[in-house]
Amino acid sequence: MKIGIAKERRPYEARVAASPDTVKKYVAMGFEVAIETGAGLSAAFTDAALEAAGAKIVKTAKDALGSADVVLKVRKPIGSGAEVANEADEIALMKNGATLISLMEPYKDRALIDALAAKKITTFALEMVPRITRAQSMDVLSSQANLAGYKSVLDACNEFGRAFPMMMTAAGTVPPARVLVMGAGVAGLQAIATAKRLGAVVSATDVRPASKEQVESLGGTFVAVEDEEFKEAETAGGYAKEMSDAYKKKQAELIAETLKKQDVVICTALIPGRPAPVLITEDMVKTMKPGSVIVDLAVEQGGNCPLSEYGKVVRKHGVAIVGHANVPSRIAVDASALYAKNVLNFLTPLYDAEAKSLKINLEDEIVKGSLITQDGKVVHPAVQAVAAGKTAAKPAAKPRAARKPAASKTASKPAAKTAKAPAKPKAATATSAAAPAAGSDKEGDA
């Protein structure tokens, strides 16, 4: 069987779906691996390194994808209709009946899902892999959100005009920065750990009761309205529930007071399959200290702050608001290495070495949860519920109220583990709700 990997061509994407390490393992399993030239360069994987691992380097995306039985990608393939300016329709390059493994944003662009089904492509959406113990090594949301949480703190440092740690000097004392992390999932917990290592005084908020212990285990102070509703704010799967308007009002009042004292706020709050909740209103931003920084990791799903702008750093009311697109891709070397390993761990159980073919067990929980198209049909119930022909709203579109809910790269679920945390987070991507949700779901990387 042949694996095909083309260069990622979507804006802001620097990752690649295979590394020299995983290529070596695919070849040992019996696969042929064809990789488009330059596909790994932005992640520091040279053609020479990939070729030395056993890959065949080919000239074009067509050469990589045209005869591939299995296509591995980071982002969903580009469809028809000039979806990405000046880029070819990648679905048209794939052969009928191929298998595609990628992040798919399955709720966001039904037309693209239908196009894959029309070519009888078997499609697995990695963001929909269920959060079970057996699937932890396949959890791309966790691996990518962990890096995003780390990078978000560095991005905040870059915009913040002061030092993070307290410094005692002959010229005077520099007080430590005060950092609030909103959402204590994987990205949030890593942000807490990173800010603490840099010497900041850290607090965090989340609607899930289990997150309190996780935050405190990392040295953070937990901020939340801990009433009866709060105790029931987590689903059986470990995700956050949408909170009532009454709870949101109480939480918003608490957060409004807390924000006045903060220097940096990291927003990571997402709700699976829903627009990102608005946690920081414009009125709240007006009360923050001049020179403060907000990093909005949810900007691709509408944002936790209505003033954030996709792919930009803006300054409003004396506050820098960071809305970088695709934050994991900003740390592409590690993000690619981890993603490639997640993909290898997903593909390996599907491959029958004796038959030299894929064996898809539809009774397997991981297959059932992540398979979205097969035999010319959309087969996942949640994706079937998305209106046929629906296409994605552009993440940068404003005003917020005009956007339609779609769903995440991380669309179906948040991420699940931090790289290093004394307590293992149960929730996937950080989630919190302090004000009525607004915005638009993204790919969410995280």
**Residues belonging to the active site:** 131, 136, 139, 142, 239
Q: CA-CA distance, 264 to 150, in Å (whole number)?
A: 14
String of DSSP letters for 210-244? HHHHHHHHTTPEE----SHHHHT-B-TTSPBPPPP
String of DSSP letters for 29-59? HT-EEEEETTTTGGGT--HHHHHHTTPEEES
Give the torsion sign (CA, 111, 117, 121, 122).
Answer: positive
The torsion of the CA quartet 359, 363, 367, 373, rounded to 10 degrees, works out to 80
Find the largest Cα–Cα distance for the chain: 73
Provide the angle, in degrees to the nearest 10, between the axes of the packed helices 140-159 and 186-197. Answer: 40
Q: CA-CA distance, 282 to 306, in Å (whole number)?
A: 7
Q: CA-CA distance, 242 to 220, in Å (whole number)?
A: 24
Q: CA-CA distance, 316 to 290, in Å (whole number)?
A: 10
Task: Tell me which amino acid residue 366 is.
Answer: I
Q: CA-CA distance, 230 to 263, in Å (whole number)?
A: 27
Q: How far is CA 48 from the centre of its chain?
A: 30
Give the torsion sign (CA, 85, 140, 304, 149).
Answer: negative
User: Which is nearest to 26 in space by CA: 6, 53, 51?
Assistant: 53
Tell me the backbone φ, ψ of residue 205, rounded to 5 degrees: -135, 150
* Whether 5 contacts 35, CB under 8 Å: yes
Token pair of 20 as six digits: 């020299």
Cis, peptide link before residue 414, omega less than 30° from 0: no
Tell me the backbone φ, ψ of residue 159, rounded to 5 degrees: -95, -15
C-alpha radius of gyration, the chain, whole number: 22
Do you know the residue count of the chain?
446
